[in-house]
Amino acid sequence: MAVYNLTVNNKKVKVDVEPDMPLLWVIRDFVGLKGTKFGCGMAMCGACTVHLNSQPIRSCQTPISVVAKNAKITTIEGIGDSQLHAVQQAWIDEQVPQCGYCQSGQIMSAVALLKTTPNPTDEDIDAAMSGNLCRCGTYDRIRKAIHKASDSIKSSAGVGGGK
Amino acid sequence: MTSRRNFLKTTSLTTFGFALGVSSFAKDATLKKITPAIVSLEINPFIIIDTAGNITLVNPRPDMGQGSTQAVPSLLAEELEVSLEKVKIVQSDGKGKYGDQTSGGSSSVRALWQPIRKAGAAAREMLTQTAAKRWNVSTTECFAQDGKIVHRGSGKSLTYGELADDASKLEIPKNPKLKEAKDFKIIGKYNKRLDVPERVTGKAVYGLDVDVPGMVYASVLHSPMLHGKIASIDDTETKKIAGVLQVVRTERPMPHRKSEAVAVIATNWWAALKGKKALKVQWDNGDYEKTLSTQKYFDATYEAARKEGINYEEKGDFSAKYASAKQKTEANYETPFLSHAPIEPENAVVHVKDDGTVEIWAPVQGPDWALRDVCGYLKVKPEQVKINVTLLGGAFGRKAYHDFLLEACHLSKELKKPVKVTWTREDDITQGPYRPGMLSHMQGFVENGKITGFHHHAIGESIAGQVFNGLKDDEADPWLTGEISPENSKYNFATASKVSWTNVKTDIPVVWWRSVYASNFGWGQECFIDELAHLTGKDPLEARLAILSDERFRKVLETLAEKANWKEKLPEGQGKGLAVFRSFDSISAACVTVSRQANGVKIDKVVSVIDCGYYVNPDNVKAQTEGNIVMGLTAAIKDGITFTNGVCDQTNFHQFNLMRINEAPKMEIHIIDSGANPGGVGEPGLPPIAPALGNAIFAATGKRIRKLPFDITNLS
């Protein structure tokens, strides 16, 4: 066991866990944030996607010992601040989720995509989102919602809308 | 979670109010009034309006993504003249008073369409009568609007809360007048699902998210050959792992048999999983290494295809007519075993308490079935069991099979504490149960440019037989033979037709998978109709319409032809294929367009049409159909489940690949407003997808594919 000081969603937390424990289980069972999901345990489904310093990572394959001391971890509970993130709002507008279980991971991947590619094409979306499985088959709506979120982020930033 | 305990507290201890129960889900469901005193005895509390005007509905269909948490309250809100937001939902707990409670067979709206609306209409009439009496006016001068009864002349109004207590003293009208479809404000209209926000913020609570005080975590080592017996356990390394509490022999109870297993119990699940990986268990596998083989199973099905099966029905002496037919053909169509692979793996928390009561938190499709299985397994009475159904992170049939739940029951009873069992993806994929792989042996003939003879010989394992031990050896499995009969397909084979069945058994556990056998047999039926259509020399659409007089089928196909621009001339190398299949009282057809690309094809577009009769939310019908397109294509072109030398060849998503976003084609869904009784929505869109794809590939390349799955990038 070892003590780790983490910053999760801008809050400092301290956990005492085995060094090889994946970040996923630290977040879920020790920090107590259940929005990040377990799906495969081998980075094949993306349900466990969180941001480490704004980069999307598969938390099921990230041992806590490799998470740097000052790293900022962001989970689905932390992207919206006081209100919904534009991506979350677009997910509601397009009624994307069915069961919803994979959607935390989908949204984390989409938020990261829009940070680096504010104006994504369908091909950009396919490339960035192909690591996230959805067994309910919501892919068509995910594409639409990402375009919608892109528009809404641009218009709220005052840089003009349109695709 | 909204706990059932809180719900009962507020409803039974608030001794004023109004409650209506529905005694059954039959169409002629009788309504029963529950006086507050009886509510505390918990008899049929389905719908409760309290004196504050709060409306509570006990929802008897768990939500696994199919939208029951919107569809069911919509039926009530419509008749009660309230907005959807006004209806608070509490999930039923499996007790018999709530009737059938299993999300399966695309049944939610089909089964509840009449009874819930009837309850809502009865309540509306009773509230109206109460208000009219108070104002000393005729009920015809009063109407319900937005949670109030309004007097037309004066405009005065009383809220449902103000009326509830007195209304509850009235006789319940036996035949309340249901609203006419033209007056619907919610049913059939676009409405956002109110539980979407919690599913995009991480707040939704699935089974995997349940923690209860004092809980320990279990990871279960299952028999790699499914039914092997434990010869020895070496847990030396396991016990060295920090957090591991103990190692116990346990079992995996399936409906038809139990398998031996070893559980690692720990203070957290990661430790339990590490402990499981460190176990050294020797298994006595008997002859499973030789017998558990999908190759051997399919060999047996092809062998059976060369013989006569058991007839389900035969019209016009098919065999003799086929023997003498001049234009005829036959073919075998194969579909693989498949894993449901919901992204939330199987899991359950169970606490078998010292006083003999049992509390459960689990993602189960049917708390009623779960209750039955738990009572049977633990030998307890229903009143000793409390089931808290969580949201389901996908299910597709898998979570109505309770091996994972009973594992947790067994362990909690043994350990005398709450236990959370969480399966790994590897458990999910390697252990089953699976959709059974099946073979369709098809024979047919053509006379005078028309398909007039058709035989579907369905071959493989019987779900009813294996899961329920419910099939005699000399009986054709009615679950599937009914579905592929001309009575269901509505094809009029003028000369002769036959449906037959051969049961090829397997020790590989099988169960229903989204759309059940329709997902297997739509493939054989609709690809073979396409083959026969080409034999007639007609276009596959025309050849179908020539033998279909059923108006709804014709409308579905004609709409598909129009929306998918079926008649357009395509460039060389592009092709369209179509298929139609009726399941769960709905008719769905699909048209797939493909283009040749290197050695394979690319799917350009899928257009789907569904006639599901009356429906609640068109957007949800579309969403379910989109899901069916993706799942249907996945079943056709991604991985199947195979067993070699006794073990499953696939272990996780790197070998059991699912369709990803970059592979998902453009799709378009059209709904037919037939005004028929509601049919299913969650499943009927799936069966036509694979055959429409197969037929499109034939149109584009001339290559006829008869075995699923196949590699779409390499058809040579």
How many residues are given for chain A? 163
Q: Is the pLDDT of residue B181 over 50?
A: yes
Probe site for chain A from B63, B199, B424 (most A CB atoms < 10 A): B199
Q: Is B619 on the interface with A (CB under 8 A)?
A: yes
Name the pLDDT band for B43 (thresholds 50, 70, 90).
very low
Residues of B in contact with A141 (CB under 8 A): 623, 626
Specify which of B54-63, B83-92, B546-555 reaches the highest per-range mean pLDDT: B546-555
Are A53 and A72 contacting, i.e. CB atoms less than 8 angstroms apart?
yes
Q: Is B654 on the interface with A (CB under 8 A)?
A: yes
What average pLDDT is seen over chain A?
A: 95
What's the rounded Cα separation, in Å, for the pair B183 and B554? Answer: 28
Closest by Cβ to A97, choosing from B199, B274, B426: B199
**Minimal CA separation from B628 to chain A, in Å:** 7
pLDDT digits (tens, 9 = 90+) for B25-40: 333 444 444 443 223 2
Confidence (pLDDT) at B393: 98
Chain B neighbours among A 129-148 (CB < 8 Å)?
Answer: 129-143
pLDDT digits (tens, 9 = 90+) for B267-287: 999 999 999 999 999 999 999
**What value does the mean pLDDT take over residues B89-103?**
88
Question: Which residue of chain A comes nearest to B64, CA vs CA?
Answer: A99
B228 Cβ contact partners less than 8 Å away, ≥ 6 residues apart: B259, B260, B283, B284, B285, B286, B288
Token readout for B558 is 């004609």
Cβ contact, residue pair A135, B342, below 8 Å = yes
pLDDT digits (tens, 9 = 90+) for B48-76: 888 888 898 988 899 999 999 999 999 99
Closest by Cβ to B199, choosing from A22, A103, A137: A103
**What value does the mean pLDDT take over residues B616-622?**
98
Q: Is B190 on the interface with A (CB under 8 A)?
A: no
Closest by Cβ to A39, choosing from B196, B243, B425: B425
Q: Is the pLDDT of residue B503 over 60?
A: yes
pLDDT digits (tens, 9 = 90+) for B316-341: 999 999 999 999 999 999 999 999 99
Confidence (pLDDT) at A70: 87
Q: Is the pLDDT of residue B622 over 60?
A: yes
What's the rounded Cα separation, in Å, for the pair A144 and A122? Answer: 9
What average pLDDT is seen over chain B?
A: 92
**Minimal CA separation from A135 to chain B, in Å:** 6
Q: Is the pLDDT of residue B459 over 80?
A: yes
What's the rounded Cα separation, in Å, for the pair A102 and A38? Answer: 9
Confidence (pLDDT) at B21: 54
In percent, the amount of chain B with pLDDT more than 90 equals 85
Which of B107, B243, B119, B210 minimizes the C-alpha distance to B172?
A: B119
Question: Which residue of chain B comes nearest to A126, CA vs CA?
Answer: B662
Confidence (pLDDT) at B46: 79
pLDDT digits (tens, 9 = 90+) for A119-163: 999 999 999 999 999 999 999 999 999 999 999 999 987 654 333
Residues of A in contact with B394 (CB under 8 A): 99, 101, 135-136
Confidence (pLDDT) at B631: 98
Residues of B in contact with A106 (CB under 8 A): none
**What value does the mean pLDDT take over residues B389-414?**
98
Q: Is B630 on the interface with A (CB under 8 A)?
A: yes
Q: Is A79 on the interface with B (CB under 8 A)?
A: no
**Minimal CA separation from B206 to chain A, in Å:** 8
Helix, strand, or coil (residue B206)? strand
Confidence (pLDDT) at A160: 43
Closest by Cβ to B202, choosing from A25, A35, A40: A35
Confidence (pLDDT) at B50: 83
Q: Is B445 on the interface with A (CB under 8 A)?
A: no
Please report the ipTM that was assigned to this predicted complex: 0.96
Q: Is B391 on the interface with A (CB under 8 A)?
A: yes
B630 Cβ contact partners less than 8 Å away, ≥ 6 residues apart: A134, A136, A137, A139, B659, B664
Cα within 13 Å of Cα(B157), Cβ side? 13
What's the rounded Cα separation, in Å, for the pair B60 and B69? Answer: 10
**What value does the mean pLDDT take over residues B135-146?**
98
Closest by Cβ to A42, choosing from B273, B623, B654: B654
* Residue B47 phi, psi (nearest 5): -130, 130
Closest by Cβ to B654, choosing from A44, A91, A126: A44
Bin B348: left if φ > 0, else alpha if -120 < ψ < 50, else beta: beta
B600-611 and B666-671 as β-strands: parallel, antiparallel, unpaired?
parallel
Q: Is B623 on the interface with A (CB under 8 A)?
A: yes
Q: Is B213 on the interface with A (CB under 8 A)?
A: no
Four-residue CA torsion sign, A117, A121, A124, A130:
positive
Cβ contact, residue pair A84, B200, below 8 Å = yes
Q: Is A122 on the interface with B (CB under 8 A)?
A: no
**Minimal CA separation from B198 to chain A, in Å:** 9
* Residue B81 phi, psi (nearest 5): 60, 50
Helix, strand, or coil (residue B53)? coil
Tokens 């840089």 belong to residue: A159
What's the rounded Cα separation, in Å, for the pair B630 and B232? Answer: 44
Cβ contact, residue pair B343, A47, below 8 Å = yes
**Termini Cα distance of chain A:** 51
**What value does the mean pLDDT take over residues A91-95?**
98
Are B315 and B507 contacting, i.e. CB atoms less than 8 angstroms apart?
no
